[in-house]
Structure 1
């Protein structure tokens, strides 16, 4: 498929995804619909050799979530929740100190 963006033409070949018809179906606003299930999950290849202002970098984590062990996933989930809780507590403490008239740095 030939596309162009801001005057630059390029070819785009969308990935082919094979699906099977699901058993769940229905009608919504007069239109028939049916769920489709993937036969095989598509594997996206990571983009390599990215450069921003002359500096090379790689996008995202090198290890996908599917490749992480359950223990790594649970550790990451716990850490993120704990960090959010600490941020929320610090924010509430700073607001309270401001209302009372204390300097937040002394707390």
Structure 2
């Protein structure tokens, strides 16, 4: 059968399937119905050289895996446990100071000091009061 797709003509040959009649006979809505089976199993299609939008590719081709280049190991400095604890404590203190500064700005806006308070250079400095650290901190539920 002659077919045409996007200006390209080609000959279509539909696959023919050889069938055999089985002994299974049934009835469907009062009519006799015979079941058929294939004589032999279908054969897998051959590998084809195809082109799509100008790029050639093959069907049923095994993919080529690129081997990554072997790089030399890089020595990464490892922090000691004390250094890790120190950096975590400093980061946690910074976070608390940021929260305190945000609370101070919100309070100043509620009171009516909204002009220039955010440009104030003197941020929260110094030690954090222990009660503030104990009461205004991440909750344990946030970590789960």
Which structure exhibits the higher relative contact order, with contacts defined as CA atoms closer than 8 Å and separated by 6 or more residues? 1
Choose between structure 1 and 2: higher strand proportion.
1
Under a length normalisation based on structure 2, what TM-score does the superposition of the two structures give?
0.33
